[in-house]
Structure 1
């Protein structure tokens, strides 16, 4: 009986140790966007335009770039990663950076959007997630499914988080689950972001921002108002808003 309890204790200690090791690290994500799917679902476009889009933008693998997330128990840093050898597209913006600080519950976003550079600072507002009864293996980590939505962009979000990496971080603007988000998609595959590599331990080179940030500084609420107005104006003029805003 004592041997049984000892084995159980050892398993608990091993599990606790592994979890403790998984709270600092770096993740490389593949960010894939499918413009043909997005365009085909835009309002007020004709069937002729849809057909033209299919011929011009159809790509079964999507258009890819690599992103990088660094995480600690108290914060995360996110920006572009090393480019692929063959660039899928050439209009990647230079400035795109997100820092989430979970100690003081604030964030900083520094990004080129809608033809301008914005510096957005505000309090963290955790997305409303519903955890579902589905699991999926990603890079050897058993991940649970969670769903949410972005009412401003009209997006349904499906995320997969790894509870054995017990930090509430994730790529892009996704966070707030009881484990690192290793993958998510928008509107059933219009955008897919998936982890390609995870390295645990202190990152060799910490993501840094320029000492002087140049751009229009706004609150999170003000930035949401700007995005909402931009989308509404684009829809009225039958323009695709995702050319100005990250999808």
Structure 2
């Protein structure tokens, strides 16, 4: 643990924690590998796995862009500009996350499990373990941290930049002493990595739809719905990733 703290201290000294790094916009590439995911599901039949490998096997994965805007007091996250090829056909569906760091609350507005949900609750950070490893991402020295999503059965590996001192990241990840610039799930089944960072006030701030229609639930209620959906899918020998974001 002492060696990890020394490494963090060294990073803080060398990068300087510049004040202008607390406001900006990040463009991420969200890349998913369906063949890897489905090959790992023990409850699917061999015939179904072969069918998925034939239909969705792609060594480059399937990509879309996501966009994160951040300030010291909040962050906003949604879809970015789509790629011309290998993008999700369903990415036009609503998917929006706002983290309010001042009030320690969040809002999620998203199409999941065949319905639209509006989820509001208090922020509850994943349980992170900071590791003694670093890597360079877009010129920022990032430290490794690991966590686990027990509901989805996912091992999460994240890389955060301590010279961008905002405790947020893409998707539902936050709570580290620096902006999360990359993460992967289950050793590369899903890879999300920053492709571009622009510091300063965003030219166009992400906004929610004017009319938000959907079922409003708490964070606990939503997690219970996710658990039930995954369990029902497993019992039916179906892959839950089609209707629930991986």
TM-score, structure 1 as length reference = 0.92
For 2:108, the equivalent position in structure 1 comes to: 109
- Post-superposition CA distance 1:59-96 (Å, at most 9, x none): 11110000000000010000000111224331224200
- Contact 1:109–1:119 (CA under 8 A) maintained in structure 2: yes
- 1:202-221 residue pairs with structure 2 within 5 A? 202-221=201-220
- Post-superposition CA distance 1:158-179 (Å, at most 9, x none): 0000000000010000100000
1:144 matched to 2:174? The reply is no
**Higher CA-based Rg:** 1
Aligned-partner SS, 2:228: helix
TM-score, structure 2 as length reference = 0.92
Aligned-partner SS, 1:218: strand
For 1:121, the equivalent position in structure 2 comes to: 120
1:172 matched to 2:171? The reply is yes
Q: Where do 5+ consecutive residues of structure 1 fail to align?
A: 1-11
Q: Where do 5+ consecutive residues of structure 2 fail to align?
A: 1-11
d(CA) in 1 for partners of 2:32, 2:218: 28
Aligned-partner SS, 1:64: strand
Aligned-partner SS, 1:22: helix
d(CA) in 1 for partners of 2:166, 2:123: 15
d(CA) in 2 for partners of 1:149, 1:31: 19
d(CA) in 2 for partners of 1:44, 1:94: 29
- 1:24-43 residue pairs with structure 2 within 5 A? 24-43=23-42
- 1:1-247 residue pairs with structure 2 within 5 A? 16=16, 19-247=18-246
- Contact 2:79–2:91 (CA under 8 A) maintained in structure 1: no
